[in-house]
Amino acid sequence: MKYNNLTPEEENVIVHKGTETPFSGEYNENFRLGTYFCRRCNAKLYESKDKFKSSCGWPSFDDAVPGAVKRISDSDGVRVEIRCAHCDAHLGHVFEGEQYTEKNVRHCVNSLSMKFIPYDKK
């Protein structure tokens, strides 16, 4: 499978499961209407209607595009990692029970793992 070229910072997060510095990501405070895609393979991951302000330092979503994200037990034995279901790119982690939204789920996603395309640019 052919993937998009990644910068060293993107590769650190997407391939080596790194984490970008909190509050540094380009999409942390982005609340424009649009769609978020996997930076590695261009698969559709999230819609802006599911994004919410959590003040955790990373973009937060309470739902993903159906079938787009898979959950895997993290190597730390505590958290649940989320990956692109299409190319296995590391996206971040998912948390439940925090009461941020009615769905009670927070996908905490690295901006470096995604590309955003506003609805008015499609």
CB 89 within 8 A of CB 38: yes
CB 25 within 8 A of CB 59: yes
Q: Which residues are catalytic?
A: 108
Cα Rg of the chain, angstroms: 13
How many C-beta neighbours within 10 Å does residue 100 have?
17
